[in-house]
Amino acid sequence: MVKVSIGIPVYNVSDYLLQCLESIRQQSFQDFEVIMVDDGSTDNSFEICQEYVFRDSRFKLYHQSNFGVATARNTCLKHMYGEFVA
């Protein structure tokens, strides 16, 4: 079990997503998992998330139709296994 699960709802945020994911990946604390839920993005956010999944096994990606941020957060929670949730 990982110590911290980080949930990231994603919807058309390609302009900011690289900076966000890279900041998480470069943290000195390494015992975490990142659960990204693409909520039907129409930009290249999904592809950016896929790159991180291929680069780092701590990053996991789920895709769903656009149901809104609350549903995306709930999807994150369903797939988290950490002791703490962020």
- Write the pLDDT tens digit of every residue in 24-47: 999 999 999 999 999 999 999 999
Range of the domain at 26: 4-85
Six token digits for residue 80: 């988290």
Q: What is residue 62's predicted lDDT score, i.e. its pLDDT? A: 98
What pLDDT band is residue 6 in, cutting at 50, 70 and 90? Answer: very high
Percent of the chain with pLDDT over 90: 99
Q: What is the CATH number of the domain that holds 11?
A: 3.90.550.10
Count of domains observed in the chain: 1
- Residue 12's alpha-carbon distances to 7, 30, 38, 43, 73, in angstroms, are 16, 27, 9, 5, 15
Query: Who contacts 3 (Cβ-Cβ below 8 Å, separation ≥6)?
Result: 29, 31, 32, 82, 83, 84
CA distance 49 to 43: 12
Average pLDDT of 13-30?
97
DSSP 71: H
Asked whether 24 and 6 are in contact (CB, 8 A), the reply is yes
What pLDDT band is residue 68 in, cutting at 50, 70 and 90? Answer: very high
